[in-house]
Amino acid sequence: MASTAHSQNNYIKIFIILSVLTVIEVGITFLGLPKMLLATLLVTFAVWKAALVAMHFMHLKFEKTTLTIVALVPFALCVFLILMLLPDIYPH
């Protein structure tokens, strides 16, 4: 039981990392980047933050790989569908 104990320090460290990522996201919006690049960066940061929350606050880092597969398969399908729809959204 002692090996799975969580320290308050770890939660504070993750909270600080999430705060820094949020500040970076807000800062990116003011750079005047093209919309596609901006959207890609913001989604990347959002996925990164969601993974941090899931792993540390929802304690999923202690779960089996089956849960990981259950979470990643729909994500992969969404990415696949978005990539397949891009030619219809942005025709040449």
- For the cut 90, the answer to whether the pLDDT of residue 28 exceeds it is yes
- For the cut 90, the answer to whether the pLDDT of residue 87 exceeds it is no
- Whether the model clears a pTM of 0.85, i.e. scores above it, the answer is no
Cα separation, 77 vs 33, whole angstroms? 28
State the pLDDT at residue 21: 93
State the pLDDT at residue 59: 67
State the pLDDT at residue 29: 92
- For the cut 60, the answer to whether the pLDDT of residue 6 exceeds it is no
Domain residue ranges in the chain: 1-58, 63-92
**Does residue 91 or residue 36 have the better pLDDT?**
36
Task: Provide the residue type at 41 as one letter.
Answer: L
Please name the residue that has the structure tokens 């596609």: 36
Please name the residue that has the structure tokens 């040449």: 92
Please name the residue that has the structure tokens 């919309």: 35
State the pLDDT at residue 1: 46
Per-residue model confidence as pLDDT tens digits over 32-79: 899 999 999 999 999 899 888 877 777 666 666 777 788 788 989 998
